[in-house]
């Protein structure tokens, strides 16, 4: 008889009210001593553990808490610290840790990129052939801390060795063996210390196992796990996989570990088929991810219990753990503060805490063949049905517009080579034009005024007057800096997705549904719950007001359809591709409204285009087809003389150039400050045929790079990007930065651009 219990892969660490964020930022701002900082974080960790215990979770996970990022935690513990940080202090401490995360006055931060196909960004470990060693075992501390307050033995978790190796940069074919040979003994030490402390299970997260692995990769995995089994024989290791099914199931389940975790939400069909074909070892524990850890919707309890029963009809594992499909950090903490939402929507929501309740209900049912309360299943079916039949999901106008689309709606009327000539003659820009990505720092005064307006404490007229004054001030700052293409600054926007969602039909907004994007940066994704429709101009007034203050060009600034989709919690009753087309139709109307108002450059940002890409290569082309079409539908209707820009950041462009080209945008701005060499190397092999703006400094770090540092990046790129198509900009929006550092950095950026123009005039080069 298979025993059944409940567990999690991980739980959100930010707190119901973002307590973690405030604590970390207070420490950065020297408002907390290190001892106060550690005490606050400990209190938050323990509160999270006890909440899960009170919810009835039987095996509670530790190691899901971080000081910034969990990949960085491991790199720091293994002393995988790049040489440039060694001058900061003799013995690495939080000073070095946060310098790696955020940079310092003298060092740039480590590269940051997307965590698989999520909106979370992780710090990329850098191997420089340094000697690795085990620093302080923070996982042991977390285990002992949890063991002292919980009634059951906690389960430590950390990123598994294969995924950590694959997500680390810096090694090559000649050095990879040395890296692995150094790394594996450190994993063994960490695991052994946890076993010695009483850990009954240790979870190694291996999301890379969802990739389509070749024989050489599979052999490496075999070697890694056989060595762990040989050297730490007393450890019960649970390999946890998530985000999709594992293509090489038959090999992975034979690894010498005590348990395997599978995603039965996003990978249900393929994982179930693999179980049917290859069974599941009866001597291993199966951890089944049966609650969606990445969305906010109530689970269909009857359907989920049927899935679990279908699994148990096929196999009889040693034990069955029921868990969410992935770490719940991708879901907000609780729905408790969201009762102002429409009832039909609120009742259909389940955030992390509610998902724990669902997990308890399902575990109880599988054990007892009945729910704790007979009404649970009836209420569950009712809330799902009410939302499905709500009028918001049956907009006949939107349905008719989609039905009338044809091929020409997805293509510009002229090829780039033709329209760029018209644009140059109209725009009259210098070589290497300078611009910013869109947003400028939002002062406490502006945040307060916006909050007062939202609470109806001040009039709309006063609010708009204050916004206009701030926009005018920043237009003057940009002119004084001598930027070539200006922006209005986006002072009316709290978030680049939320702002548009508030002005479109089909969206809803929460009070506290926060999730982490990177570091302490939290976002509150809107909820797409109905059909999306453009109601009235969303950005025209602010953009025109700014343009009237200057003789220089002001860009219109929009968030693209795929980013709005990927950075929202999306309805699950229709395909995501259909939702993307609805958003694109709405943005098309906004873009045409900007053009009709005389705006000559319109930027449609798509920083999240890549993150929606399925992990398995065989599934990627379908996503690319519809996501690229959504962008083109939004932008293709403009005149050839209107220049369309887009922007992307932190998403591994090296293997993504072709889809970017397919967008047919006139100019793209890219992040290059943290990974400049890799992008330039990629462009050498696959040249980008449109205009390209290099992000010459990292806005996620408070440091101000010198003119010389930026000029070096620009000069290194001259043989790759023709000067006729070469733009210069920061690597992302500037909303989160302080005013002085923003102005100082932009001043240096403009100086570097002018130096480049001067150098080109003195010494023309052949391109």
Sorted by where each begins, the domain ranges of the chain are: 3-391, 417-759
484: tokens are: 């070539």
| Average pLDDT of the residues in 130-158 | 97
Query: Does the pLDDT value for residue 159 go beyond 70?
Result: yes
Per-residue pLDDT, 616:
84
Taking only the tens place, the pLDDT of each residue in 590-639 is: 999 999 999 999 999 998 898 888 888 888 999 999 999 999 999 999 99
Backbone angles phi, psi at 205, to 5 degrees: -85, 120
CB 583 within 8 A of CB 561: yes
More confident residue, 144 or 671: 144
**Chain centroid offset of residue 523 CA:** 10
Query: Does the pLDDT value for residue 390 go beyond 50?
Result: yes
More confident residue, 420 or 119: 420
Taking only the tens place, the pLDDT of each residue in 627-662 is: 999 999 999 999 999 999 999 875 556 668 888 899
Q: Which residues are annotated as a binding site for 5-methyltetrahydropteroyltri-L-glutamate?
A: 18-21, 114, 521-522, 567, 611
Query: Does the pLDDT value for residue 175 go beyond 70?
Result: yes
Helices within 330-459 (DSSP H only): 343-346, 352-368, 375-388, 396-403, 416-427, 444-454
Per-residue pLDDT, 766:
42
Question: CA-CA distance, 654 to 682, in Å (whole number)?
Answer: 5
The residues carrying an active-site annotation are 700
| Average pLDDT of the residues in 568-576 | 95
Per-residue pLDDT, 580:
98
Per-residue pLDDT, 529:
96
Per-residue pLDDT, 133:
97
218: tokens are: 């599979």
Query: Does the pLDDT value for residue 183 go beyond 70?
Result: yes
Q: What is the mean pLDDT of the chain?
A: 94
The DSSP secondary-structure symbol of 30 reads: T
CB 747 within 8 A of CB 754: no
The DSSP secondary-structure symbol of 111 reads: P
Q: Which residues are annotated as a binding site for L-homocysteine?
A: 437-439, 490, 605
Confidence of residue 403 (pLDDT cuts 50, 70, 90): very high
Query: Does the pLDDT value for residue 562 go beyond 80?
Result: yes
Taking only the tens place, the pLDDT of each residue in 337-372 is: 999 999 999 999 999 999 999 999 999 999 999 999
For 18: left if phi > 0, alpha if psi spans -120 to 50, otherwise beta; the answer is left
**Chain centroid offset of residue 628 CA:** 19
Predicted structure pTM score: 0.88
CB 190 within 8 A of CB 164: no
Query: Does the pLDDT value for residue 713 go beyond 90?
Result: no
Taking only the tens place, the pLDDT of each residue in 251-270 is: 999 999 999 999 999 999 99
Per-residue pLDDT, 298:
98
| Average pLDDT of the residues in 405-430 | 96
Query: Does the pLDDT value for residue 174 go beyond 80?
Result: yes
Query: Does the pLDDT value for residue 158 go beyond 50?
Result: yes
Torsion angle of C-alpha atoms 32, 38, 42, 45, degrees rounded to 10: 80
Q: Which residues are annotated as a binding site?
A: 18-21, 114, 437-439, 490, 521-522, 567, 605, 611, 647, 649, 671, 732
Rounded to 10 deg, the angle between the 268-278 and 301-314 helix axes is 20
Domain 3-391 matches domain 417-759 at the CATH topology level: yes
| Average pLDDT of the residues in 163-180 | 94
Per-residue pLDDT, 654:
61
Query: Does the pLDDT value for residue 204 go beyond 90?
Result: yes
Q: Long-range contacts of range 456-461, CB-CB < 8 Å, 24 or more positions apart?
A: none
Per-residue pLDDT, 767:
35
Confidence of residue 765 (pLDDT cuts 50, 70, 90): very low
| Average pLDDT of the residues in 203-229 | 97
Give the torsion sign (CA, 701, 704, 709, 715).
positive
Per-residue pLDDT, 276:
96
Per-residue pLDDT, 545:
96
Q: Whose CA is closest to 139, among 61, 39, 207?
A: 61
Confidence of residue 273 (pLDDT cuts 50, 70, 90): very high
Question: Out of 3.40.980.10, 3.40.50.2300, 3.20.20.210, 3.20.20.80, which CATH number does the structure's domain 3-391 have?
Answer: 3.20.20.210
Query: Does the pLDDT value for residue 678 go beyond 70?
Result: no
Taking only the tens place, the pLDDT of each residue in 430-454 is: 999 999 999 999 989 999 999 999 8
Q: Which residues are annotated as a binding site for Zn(2+)?
A: 647, 649, 671, 732
CATH number of 417-759: 3.20.20.210
Percentage of the chain exceeding pLDDT 70:
97
């Amino acid at each position: 008889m298979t025993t059944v219990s409940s567990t999690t892969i991980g739980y959100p660490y930010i707190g119901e009210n973002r307590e973690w964020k405030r604590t970390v930022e207070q420490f950065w701002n020297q408002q907390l001593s290190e001892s106060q900082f550690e005490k606050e974080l400990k209190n938050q960790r323990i509160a999270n553990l006890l909440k899960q215990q009170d919810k009835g979770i039987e095996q509670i996970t530790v190691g899901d808490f971080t000081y910034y990022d969990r990949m960085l935690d491991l790199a720091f513990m293994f002393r995988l610290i790049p040489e440039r940080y060694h001058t900061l202090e003799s013995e690495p401490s939080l000073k070095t840790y946060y310098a790696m995360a955020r940079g310092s006055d003298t060092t740039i931060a480590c590269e940051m990129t997307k965590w698989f196909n999520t909106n979370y960004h992780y710090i990329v470990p850098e191997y420089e052939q340094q000697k690795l060693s085990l620093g302080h075992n923070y996982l042991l501390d977390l285990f002992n801390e949890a063991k002292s307050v919980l009634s059951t033995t906690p389960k430590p978790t950390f990123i598994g060795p294969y995924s950590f190796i694959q997500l680390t940069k810096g090694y090559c074919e000649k050095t990879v063996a040395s890296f692995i040979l150094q790394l594996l003994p450190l994993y063994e030490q960490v695991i052994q210390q946890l076993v010695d402390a009483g850990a009954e299970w240790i979870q190694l997260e291996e999301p890379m196992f969802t990739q389509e692995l070749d024989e050489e990769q599979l052999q490496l995995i075999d070697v890694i796990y056989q060595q762990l089994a040989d050297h730490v024989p007393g450890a019960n290791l649970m390999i946890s996989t998530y985000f999709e099914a594992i293509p090489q199931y038959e090999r992975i389940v034979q690894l010498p570990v005590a348990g395997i975790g599978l995603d039965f939400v996003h990978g249900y069909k393929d994982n179930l088929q693999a179980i049917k074909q290859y069974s599941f070892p009866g001597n291993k524990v199966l951890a089944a991810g049966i609650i969606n850890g990445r969305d906010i919707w109530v689970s269909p309890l009857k359907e989920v219990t049927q899935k679990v029963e279908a699994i148990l009809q096929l196999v009889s594992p040693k034990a069955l753990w029921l868990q969410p499909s992935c770490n719940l950090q991708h879901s907000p903490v609780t729905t408790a503060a969201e009762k102002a939402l429409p009832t039909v929507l609120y009742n259909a929501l389940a955030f992390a805490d509610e998902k724990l309740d669902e997990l308890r209900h399902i575990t109880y049912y599988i054990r007892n063949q009945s729910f704790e309360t007979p009404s649970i299943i009836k209420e569950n079916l009712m809330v799902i049905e009410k939302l499905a039949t709500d009028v918001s999901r049956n907009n006949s106008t939107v349905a008719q517009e989609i039905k009338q689309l044809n091929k020409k709606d997805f293509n510009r009327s002229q090829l780039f080579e033709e329209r760029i000539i018209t644009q140059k003659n109209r725009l009259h820009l210098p070589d290497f034009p300078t611009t910013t990505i869109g947003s400028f720092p939002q002062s406490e005064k502006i945040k307060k005024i916006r909050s007062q307006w939202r609470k109806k404490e001040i009039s709309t007229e006063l609010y708009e007057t204050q916004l206009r004054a701030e926009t005018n001030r920043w237009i003057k700052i940009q002119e004084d800096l001598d930027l070539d293409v200006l922006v209005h600054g986006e002072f009316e926007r709290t978030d680049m997705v939320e702002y548009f969602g508030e002005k479109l039909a089909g969206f809803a907004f929460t009070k506290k549904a926060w999730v982490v994007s990177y570091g302490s940066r939290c976002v509150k994704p809107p909820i797409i719950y109905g059909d999306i429709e453009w109601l009235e101009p969303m950005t025209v007034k602010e953009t025109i007001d700014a343009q009237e203050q200057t003789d220089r060009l002001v860009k219109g600034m929009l968030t693209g359809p795929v980013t709005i989709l990927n950075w929202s919690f999306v309805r699950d009753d229709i395909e995501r591709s259909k939702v993307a087309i609805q958003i694109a139709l709405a943005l098309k109307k906004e873009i045409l409204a900007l053009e009709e108002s005389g705006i000559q450059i319109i930027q449609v940002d798509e920083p999240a285009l890549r993150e929606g890409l399925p992990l398995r290569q065989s599934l990627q082309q379908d996503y690319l087809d519809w996501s690229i079409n959504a962008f083109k539908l939004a932008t293709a209707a403009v005149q050839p003389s209107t220049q369309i820009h887009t922007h992307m950041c932190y998403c591994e462009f090296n293997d993504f150039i072709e889809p970017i080209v397919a967008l047919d945008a006139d100019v793209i701005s890219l992040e290059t400050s943290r990974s400049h060499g890799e992008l330039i190397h990629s462009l050498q092999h696959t040249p980008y045929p449109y205009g390209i703006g290099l992000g010459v400094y990292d806005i996620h770090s408070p440091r101000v790079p010198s003119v010389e540092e930026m000029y070096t990046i620009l000069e290194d790129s001259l043989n790759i990007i023709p000067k006729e198509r070469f733009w210069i900009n920061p690597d992302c929006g500037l909303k989160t930065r302080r005013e002085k550092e923003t102005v100082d950095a932009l001043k240096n950026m403009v100086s570097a651009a002018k130096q480049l123009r001067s150098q080109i005039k003195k010494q023309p080069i052949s391109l």
